[in-house]
Structure 1
Amino acid sequence: MAPQRFREQYDQIQRSMPDVPLAIGPDDAGEFLYEKGVVLARDGEEARLVEDTVRQHFTTFAGLTADHVRRASPETNRSGITRIQVADPGQGDGGGDPAVAGALRALREPEGRTGRRLVSRNHVVSIAVNACPGDEPVPVEADAQPNPAVADGAHTPDSAVGVLVIDTGLMNDYRSYPLLAHTRGDAQVEECGDDGILRQYCGHGTFIAGLVAAVAPNTDITVRGTLNDAGAILESEFGEKLFEAVDQDGWPDVISLSAGTSNGRTDGLLGIDAFMRELRQQRTLLVAAAGNNSSATPFWPAAYADLPGFENAVLSIGALRGDGEFGACFSNHGAWVKAYAPGERLTSALTGFETPVPYVYQHSTYDTCRYGFGYACTCRHPRHTGVLSDEGGSGKPDQVMFEGLAQWSGTSFATPVAVGMIAAHMTARAETDPRKARTQLMDGNREVAEVRGANVPALIPATWSPTPVALPSTRT
């Protein structure tokens, strides 16, 4: 069942990037998306080595010319990445790209000589993921309260913790939610379609900002709309956008990032390598979502938390189910996930505080959990029919109205809960170093949950209220 959702998302992201032919990888296995006909290399000598190797090994690509290689000067491309075209991206379908796979194989030998990877697919980075959040937003009762509830404390500009949310932009009426009165940043682009229906993923960044503000009221939150295009961006652009986000206002105390991709490797993403190396030299703490593939495969950039040299700079966050006792069905897991926070059916600001906004579901729920769990997870409940899931067009997609708060699930939302706990700890302890605060919080934490049979650190805000789990779990 999980591959069905992935392919639905492939179709939607491809529509949002009509000029970028996409393939499913590796070899149509449904783990990630990437740009067809293109590989990435570091600018300069390594890019030339990649191009020469491709020319030497693939006579099919004898027509490759310098025009295919797009180099940018260091002044305009701090990520230092070059896109190299190795085939006609218009050939074939989305079921993998043999030309790109062949180019990667051809560069394995030079990689052994240089001691580091020279080439990569150009992956699609998307808001954490299958390639989507754990579910779609759900309306709540008119008198519903945020969950986690608003913690005690006030916003004090002189001591507020700086939090940068890199996500979709802010909804136009976000200031009508009192918790976000001090929030600033980029506006969401095209909140609704021509039919007045709320577009998928709109409100994602606003929802995240609301969670941070609820757990840690003494925060200065900035939201950057880096992922406004259906929550997705190419790896080749992502590194540069990350630099732009921190350059605009300076490096913050904490970055909340609910986006990423797997890539079948254990050494990170080539496209953000320069950003991650600079992050390591800063005082900023990156808190990143572990992803929603229900997989142990490393999800980047969250999995940098497990790489030497990044232990203090990155904290990876998985999601707990509604009772806080076990991992959510969709949450990625493994030794590279360093902590878990509530991430199922959280309540925060979405949109429609001033004017109710309609939304049409894109994905249908399932009769059973798509990952094999037995409790009443978000795969199953609440029931709805979605446009992308109805191939035959026999069912009518469900439409709902949003009027302010909503309920949503995913590691996307466990992440800002953890960010809020770190920020609240900084305020309570007058700690100005976010990495020290992270260490102090983790060392002093006594909460644990069970994920796949292992006890893991659980970051549980005092104001969070568990939700009942309707059925006993048959798999944890």
Structure 2
Amino acid sequence: MSVYRTDPASLGRPFGRDYGAAVPGSAPDAALRRVVARQAAELARRSDDRGVRDRGDTIRERVRGRWARTDRRVDVLRGPGDEEKSLVIGGEVLVGAASWPDVADEAARDGLTRVEVGCAELEDRVVRLRTDGADATARLTRFVRDLRAQGHAVSFSYVTPLAPVMKGCSGVPAPGLAAFAEYGPVDPSFGHGVRVAVIDTGIAEARRGDGWLSGVARVADGSPTGANIDLLDADPADGYLDVSAGHGTFVAGIIAQVAPGAEITAHRALTTSGTATDIQVACALIRAVRENAQVVNLSLGTETYFDEPPVALTAALDVVREIETTRGWESVIVAAGGNGGGTSPVWPAAFGRVVSVAGLTSALRPSLWSSRGHWIDVSTVGEGLVSTYVSGRQSPDVVAEPQQFLGDPWARWTGSSFAAPQVAGAIARAMTEHSLSATQAVRELVAAGRPVAGFGKALQILPGG
């Protein structure tokens, strides 16, 4: 028997209306509707405003500049309609170790050189190849296409951003919740004993005076386990918050709202420009699972040129499975379905063992900006979420109406990035509320969802705006 009611009147509300009154200013007044509508329009790119396009161009140039400083370039791969499909590290491809013996000769003929993967856990599982030249992207496109047609595990070296293609949608100031000790929508023990790892931009170094996220460990640069402090102003260091500054802090705050007793750990894999290679994300995922996270949240993802699963992330899931077999229990991986607005799979969400989460409006209707398709498992509100943010001023180059955030700031933000952590928090709550394993909690929550075509099972958790 299900632990949640599954009668038609209760479908989609596994927790009833527990969280409905938690967010100040969640009533649909005109000002709030305008804010949320603007964020949704920018994600959906439904505006022909020149400023929207210019801000997007600025963000992409900053991403390119960030990678150029590491002596690698970022290339844009375009789809059949000349739309931006994905970002890749120029001149690089990845090959699965099992395919390498059959691929090595062809790689040598194409002038590809093997280099270190850069992640110890993947050195024996992934082959990283590099080449130079003005025609490198065209040559590598043929290389990947031809070898995949022969059944080999080959992919580009993808840049995995906080959205399938970088878009200029940032948080806006919002009324804050009560101090953490006074937060009362749900039992504060929900999630107690469950470790939820957030792989993202890191956590704000400054501890908040209101007690939110005070239990999240801050790890400084130089630590052997890897720093997790969000740098806030590094891409570039210009006195303004970077385009993705505070993203990890915002995601962690959503998990804390849903499962206040959970142990949240922050892993910095992405820069404050909102990007990482799929190798970096894969390495962080392995580390989080090895550190016994029961739930891992990945509010990031990439579409791929041939809709192929990225090689590094595929290998990382193999390592995760081996870790789980050795210790005798499974972690649950939750990933954002993406903000592309189409049906192309977004990775890692599209992997079968990953819980993929799409975004809905506050009325649990499909959001135009959200990716969707048969590969989506569940969906929840992704528009106008309120959560913890960081202090600083937004850049006028990337935000239409830059805001100053002071003190213990809260923000309202839109995207599938903020739907996913609600599901991660819901899994942690279900585990403690009903004494379930992480995988059992997923099954119960999916069973309690309301079917929405292309969006899996819809769940009402936080209200959004």
TM-score (norm 2): 0.76
2:74 counterpart of 1:22: yes
Q: Matches of 1:252 and 1:289 in 2, distance apart?
A: 18
Q: 1:78, CA displacement in angstroms?
A: 4.9
Corresponding residue number in structure 2 for 1:154: 188
1:169 to 195, 202, 207: 202
Counting only pairs closer than 5 Å after superposition, residues 177-216 of structure 1 correspond to structure 2 as 177-186=210-219, 187-192=228-233, 194-216=237-259
Letter in 2 for 1:190: L
Q: 1:338, CA displacement in angstroms?
A: 1.0
Counting only pairs closer than 5 Å after superposition, residues 365-404 of structure 1 correspond to structure 2 as 384=400, 398-403=402-407, 404=409
Corresponding residue number in structure 2 for 1:319: 359
Q: 1:184, CA displacement in angstroms?
A: 2.1
Q: 1:340, CA displacement in angstroms?
A: 0.6
Letter in 1 for 2:357: I
Structure 1 contact 54–106 (Cα < 8 Å) conserved: no
Q: Matches of 2:398 and 2:403 in 1, distance apart?
A: 12
Counting only pairs closer than 5 Å after superposition, residues 408-419 of structure 1 correspond to structure 2 as 408-419=413-424
2:129 to 84, 87, 91: 84
Q: Matches of 2:127 and 2:187 in 1, distance apart?
A: 47
Corresponding residue number in structure 2 for 1:443: 447
Residues 1:346 and 1:37: Cα distance change in structure 2 (over 3 Å): same
Q: Matches of 2:320 and 2:447 in 1, distance apart?
A: 23
Q: 1:238, CA displacement in angstroms?
A: 3.0
SS at match of 2:90: strand
Structure 2 contact 172–403 (Cα < 8 Å) conserved: no
Corresponding residue number in structure 2 for 1:140: 174
Q: 1:119, CA displacement in angstroms?
A: 1.8
Residues 1:278 and 1:185: Cα distance change in structure 2 (over 3 Å): farther
Letter in 1 for 2:314: D
Q: Matches of 1:338 and 1:241 in 2, distance apart?
A: 23
Corresponding residue number in structure 1 for 2:293: 252
What CA deviation, in whole Å up to 9, does each residue of 1:229-267 have, x standing for no partner?
Answer: 5221122333223223333xx231100111111113455
Corresponding residue number in structure 2 for 1:240: 283
Q: 1:71, CA displacement in angstroms?
A: 4.3
SS at match of 1:178: coil
Corresponding residue number in structure 2 for 1:330: 369
Letter in 2 for 1:336: W
Corresponding residue number in structure 2 for 1:128: 163
Runs of 4 or more consecutive aligned structure 1 residues displaced over 6 Å after TM superposition: 142-146
Letter in 2 for 1:460: Q
2:340 to 278, 289, 293: 293
SS at match of 1:304: coil
CA RMSD for the aligned pairs? 3.0
Counting only pairs closer than 5 Å after superposition, residues 454-473 of structure 1 correspond to structure 2 as 456-461=456-461, 464-465=462-463, 467=465
Structure 1 contact 9–132 (Cα < 8 Å) conserved: yes
What CA deviation, in whole Å up to 9, does each residue of 1:272-302 have, x standing for no partner?
Answer: 1121123345210001100111110000010
Moved more, 33-42 or 406-415: 33-42
Q: Matches of 2:148 and 2:58 in 1, distance apart?
A: 33
Q: Matches of 1:206 and 1:317 in 2, distance apart?
A: 19
Structure 2 contact 119–283 (Cα < 8 Å) conserved: no
Letter in 2 for 1:25: L
Corresponding residue number in structure 2 for 1:395: none
Counting only pairs closer than 5 Å after superposition, residues 261-280 of structure 1 correspond to structure 2 as 261-280=302-321
2:139 counterpart of 1:99: yes
Structure 1 contact 70–83 (Cα < 8 Å) conserved: yes
Q: Structure 2 unaligned segments of length 5 or more: list them.
A: 1-44, 47-51, 220-227, 325-329
What CA deviation, in whole Å up to 9, does each residue of 1:20-44 have, x standing for no partner?
Answer: 112111466411011222211134x
2:96 counterpart of 1:42: yes
SS at match of 2:283: helix
Q: Matches of 1:86 and 1:334 in 2, distance apart?
A: 35
Structure 2 contact 358–416 (Cα < 8 Å) conserved: yes
What CA deviation, in whole Å up to 9, does each residue of 1:351-375 have, x standing for no partner?
Answer: 23xxxx22124446xxxxxxxxxxx
Structure 2 contact 366–455 (Cα < 8 Å) conserved: no
Residues 1:86 and 1:345: Cα distance change in structure 2 (over 3 Å): same
Q: Matches of 1:144 and 1:304 in 2, distance apart?
A: 38
Q: Structure 1 unaligned segments of length 5 or more: list them.
A: 365-383, 386-397, 468-476
2:428 to 415, 418, 423: 423
2:354 counterpart of 1:351: no
Q: Matches of 1:208 and 1:173 in 2, distance apart?
A: 16
Corresponding residue number in structure 1 for 2:267: 224
Q: Matches of 1:339 and 1:107 in 2, distance apart?
A: 34
Residues 1:156 and 1:36: Cα distance change in structure 2 (over 3 Å): closer
2:87 to 33, 45, 52: 33
Corresponding residue number in structure 1 for 2:33: none
Q: 1:164, CA displacement in angstroms?
A: 0.5
